[in-house]
Amino acid sequence: MQNKSAESSHVTLNGEQPLEGAPLIQLKSGNSCIPQHFLHYQHTISTIQQVVLDCEFDKRFPVFAGSDDGGLYIQVGIIGYDNYRELAKQPQRKIVYGRKWRIESNFPTSELIQTVYLALKKAREHEVRELLRLRCFSGTSAPFSCHHDLPLMARHASGMTSQSQALPLDSFIGELQKLLPLLEFDHAGFVLKHLECRDSGQLIIDLSINPTDKSQLIDISGYQITLILRQLTLNQFLHQLMDELLRLSDETVSETFTYRGFKRFSQQVDVFAIAELSVDTRNTAHIDTPEFLQRLTSANYEVDRGRIPVVQHPVIAQKVQQVLSEFGPLDGVLPELKHQ
């Protein structure tokens, strides 16, 4: 491949600037580029907003970009009905907001896009966890919700650990058939379709999720799902069920999310094509002058140095120091520990 130093007129995204002397690399496609690891980044609220505009997903999960005293951030909204109130008592949808995902101004644009993608996955996960409901103890609970009192649970940890023993197959099937009518996901019921016991002792369970007109996550409800249980307990069944619902939700985000129309995280993306592009752009032969190598090394060091955590609490500082000492001498930039 032929390299030449990048000219100032070479097109980059807003918030990106080639390092001085960065090589312009010709790809096998015939196009040229400056790889992202040869760029300097200085994102602002306007450049983050542009990236957000270039991302597309479900309209029920709008993405916002903003800034406050803590710096730049992106945030996902969720438009829908309150999962803890009866739908009949909700004449209209509402919008709520997830956590703020902090964005460092020197984030590579790829990391910024991936942060949007991850924020969407976690917003969907929050919904999925609330939508699996279990009727028990004279009430209804969302046992996998993120809103349970974790410090309280930790104080009562001995009572929170399952004591369930594996059941014989016939007994487990009987208990499972009693449990399923007590479960719903997104106002959809579960129907047992097939069971198969393997020689390994694992049990394969096929379930269908039958949606209703109240179901909101129709990409999941309506599926037939398969669970593999290593232990025949209802507790493991419920955990495996939640894991599968989350997997389906993550798959929806991966197969739907686009940046500038490109489904980067879809399984339709050719892994070998990614590998070829990576090998092409990260070939160290592109760095053909010691001056640029020094400039690149210095820029990378400054990014790492800007991320050094400063540990103010002496007890935490002592704990961190003890942990780090167990690994012997470390390369990289060590945290700043204040013991007083």
Residue-level pLDDT at 4: 53
Give the model confidence (pLDDT) of 211-224 as tens digits: 888 888 877 766 78
For residue 287, the SS3 value is coil
Contact 166, 154 (CB under 8 A): no
Average pLDDT over residues 155-180: 94
DSSP-assigned states of every residue in 68-127? ETTEEEEEEEEEE--TTS-GGG-SS-EEEEEEEEEE-TT--HHHHHHHHHHHHHHHHHHH
Residue-level pLDDT at 87: 84
Give the model confidence (pLDDT) of 54-75 as tens digits: 999 999 999 999 999 999 999 9
- Torsional sign, CA 44, 47, 50, 56: negative
Enter the tokens of residue 290.
């010691």
Residue-level pLDDT at 3: 53
Give the model confidence (pLDDT) of 265-315 as tens digits: 999 999 999 999 999 999 888 888 899 999 999 999 998 888 999 999 999
Confidence bin at 8 (pLDDT 50/70/90): very low
Contact 176, 192 (CB under 8 A): yes
Which helix (H) or strand (E) covers residue 67, if one does? Answer: strand 63-68
Enter the tokens of residue 201.
């002792």
Q: What does the alpha-carbon distance between residue 298 and residue 291 come to, in Å, rounded to a whole number?
A: 11
Residue-level pLDDT at 88: 83
Mean per-residue pLDDT of the chain: 92
Whether pLDDT at 2 is above 50: no
Contact 291, 319 (CB under 8 A): no
Contact 232, 200 (CB under 8 A): no
DSSP-assigned states of every residue in 180-235? GGGEEETTBEEEEEEEEE-TTS-EEEEEEEE--TT-S-TTTTT-EEEEEESS--HH
Contact 63, 124 (CB under 8 A): no
Give the model confidence (pLDDT) of 156-167 as tens digits: 999 999 988 999
Contact 123, 61 (CB under 8 A): yes
First-to-final CA distance of the chain: 55
Lowest mean pLDDT: which of 9-18, 25-34, 304-313, 322-331? 9-18
Q: Torsions phi, psi of 70, nearest 5?
A: -85, -5
- Of the CA atoms within 13 Å of residue 66, those in its CB half-sphere come to 11
Residue-level pLDDT at 9: 39
- Torsional sign, CA 173, 175, 177, 183: negative
Residue-level pLDDT at 222: 67
Q: What does the alpha-carbon distance between residue 35 and residue 285 come to, in Å, rounded to a whole number?
A: 13
The β-bridge partners of 195 are 205
Longest CA–CA separation in the chain, Å: 73
User: The whole model's pTM is what?
Assistant: 0.91
| Cβ contacts of 201 within 8 Å, gap of 6 or more | 230
Confidence bin at 7 (pLDDT 50/70/90): very low
Contact 106, 43 (CB under 8 A): yes
Give the model confidence (pLDDT) of 228-264 as tens digits: 999 999 999 999 999 999 999 999 999 999 999 999 9
Place of tokens 């019921």: 189
Contact 81, 15 (CB under 8 A): no
Residue-level pLDDT at 11: 47
Whether pLDDT at 148 is above 60: yes
